[in-house]
């Protein structure tokens, strides 16, 4: 599509080396944003990005 004129700038993504780098970047930006929602039986549960990043094992340790 050469010659296509965009009336807006291209969306630029932040650089990420790996998944752990991306998670840490998200924690710095908004640790309280919901990352996951799931059901435990009939109860709806959720985890924020901050909770997910502090879970055991996320940083490569057991």
**pTM for this prediction:** 0.63
Residue 61 has pLDDT above 60, yes or no: no
Q: How confident is the model at residue 11 (pLDDT cuts 50, 70, 90)?
A: confident
DSSP annotation of 28 reads H
57 C-beta neighbours (distance < 10 Å), count: 7
Residue 50 has pLDDT above 70, yes or no: yes
Averaged pLDDT of the chain: 84
8 A C-beta contact, residue 23 and residue 54: no
Residue range 24-43, pLDDT digits in tens: 899 999 999 999 999 999 99
């Amino acid at each position: 599509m050469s010659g296509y004129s965009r009336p807006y700038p291209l969306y630029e993504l932040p650089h990420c080396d790996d998944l752990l780098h991306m998670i840490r970047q998200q924690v710095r930006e908004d640790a309280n944003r919901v990352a996951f929602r799931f059901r435990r039986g009939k109860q709806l549960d959720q985890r924020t990005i901050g909770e997910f990043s502090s879970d055991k094992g996320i940083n490569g340790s057991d």
